[in-house]
Structures are given as structure tokens and as C-alpha cells.
Amino acid sequence: MLRHILAGTLVATARLVTGAEARWVGCRPSETRRIYIANHTSHADFILLWSALTPRLRSHTFPVAAADYWNANGVRRYMVKEVFRAVLVERDSVHRTHDPVAAMLQALDDGNSLIMFPEGTRGRGEALQPFKCGIFHLASTRPNVELVPVWIDNLYRVLPRGAILPVPLLCSVTFGEPTHLLPGEDKKSFLARLHQSVSTLGASCAANLC
């Protein structure tokens, strides 16, 4: 019961602070298994994207989040595990105690969707950083899962690095056209193509074409 109350409160707060508008320009909401691939500029990114989904989709869409940040204290740990039911990833590969891809695959195999930020670390709201290879391993292992590019606009101004309280500003979450790993496509080509699809979505939003 508490989890549902907190989830509803977070959704309402995210929408109030950001005026969050979900723009489905390349697809429609669907219960098909998906990996939402988004740009990353704020710790609130996955909260806003998750809030942009329909209630039914939110119930089986799990963010992939950094374990070191979300396990830093009891409040964050409760929120990420009990409310968002995130798949936590240890970013320090040297001291990693589990295979992060295996945890993501298990979530997909259980019929869920994922929210991922392939840059791996936050940018500054400008050009996308290179994508890490985890998404390629997921796409090649589960080729039937849809990959949906997403552009989160303006959130880096709402909650910039080091900020504690958000600044109310209008934001949007734009969902592009789903794709898959193409037959015979290698890792470098796949990552470049996926990177371009998210970048193009961002450019369209900047030009007010979304």
C-alpha cells in the first residue's frame, strides 16, 4: 500500500514541477517488452520517464540505475527497490560482484520492460556521450525486445549537478520509433545507429518538430 502511495506522489510531483508532457511521436504506449533508451542529464531522468508512462506500463517497467548512488542511504534504497523496483548496476567493474546484464535479462524474461541510459553517466544537456556496450549485449541476446529511443528535454536545468531542490521548468519526454538489432549488424554499427536515433530525436525536439 505504501509503495503505491509513494509512486502516485512521485508521479504527481514530477508532473507538477516539470509540467511533464509525454510525446509519443514514433510509437504508442504498448505492453510489448521494450527497452527505453534515453539521454542522461540528471538523477531524476528515470523518474520523469517512468512518470510519463501509463500506470499499467509503470507497473512492469523497471529502471536500470546506479547502485552506488541509490544505495547511499536508507531512503534512496527503499525508493529504488520498493517503489521503482529498479535493476541496480555496480558501475565499478573492478569490484563488481554480479553480472549486470544477467539481472537485466532476467527482468526482461519475466515479462518486464527496462529504462536504460547507455551513456552510463550524466551529460550536461548538450551532445550525447558515446553509448556503452551493455545495450548491444541485451539486443543481441533478446532480439525480439523493442528498443525505443527517448529524448528527455530540459530536465538538466530542473535538477542540475549538485542541486538539492528542483527548479520548476517545463520538460518533455519524447518517444521515438522502435528498432531492433539488424541481421548481421556488428556492435560498433549498432551503437552508432542507436546513438544517432536518440540524437536525431533530440534535434527534432530542439527544432520544435516533436
Residue 61, beta-bridge partner list: 113
Residue showing cell 519475466: 110
Q: Are 39 and 123 in contact (CB under 8 A)?
A: yes
Q: How many CB atoms lie within 10 A of CB 122?
A: 18
C-alpha dist (Å) from residue 39 to 6, 15, 106, 195, 210: 25, 19, 24, 9, 16
CATH number of 2-206: 3.40.1130.10
Specify the pLDDT at position 165.
Answer: 56
Please determine, for residue 205, whether its predicted confidence score (pLDDT) is greater than 70. Answer: yes
Looking at residue 13, its pLDDT comes to: 79
Alpha helices in 110-150 (DSSP H): 134-141
pLDDT at 15: 78
Contact 194, 147 (CB under 8 A): yes
Closest Cα partner for 52 from 139, 148, 128?
148
Q: What is the pLDDT of residues 106-119, one digit of tens each?
A: 999 999 999 999 98
Tens-digit pLDDT profile for residues 13-62: 777 777 778 999 999 999 999 999 999 877 778 888 998 999 999 999 99
pLDDT, position 20:
75
Q: How many helices (H) and strands (E) does the chain have?
A: 9, 7
Grid cell for residue 26: 514514433
Tell me what pLDDT residue 80 has: 82
Rounded Cα distance, 205 and 38, in Å:
14
Percentage of residues in the chain having pLDDT higher than 70: 86
Give me the torsion for CA of 29, 53, 114, 110, rounded to 10°: -70
For residue range 124-177, what is the model confidence (pLDDT) as tens digits? 656 788 999 999 999 999 999 999 999 988 766 665 565 555 666 678 899 999
- Residue 82 is predicted with a pLDDT of 85
Closest to 138 measured CA to CA, from 150, 146, 129, 130: 146
What is the C-alpha radius of gyration for the chain, rounded to an integer number of angstroms?
16
> Which sequence spans correspond to the domains of the chain?
2-206
Higher pLDDT, 131 or 5: 131
How confident is the model over 68-104, as pLDDT tens digits?
A: 887 878 888 888 888 888 888 886 665 666 777 888 9
Rounded Cα distance between 127 and 18, Å, is: 22
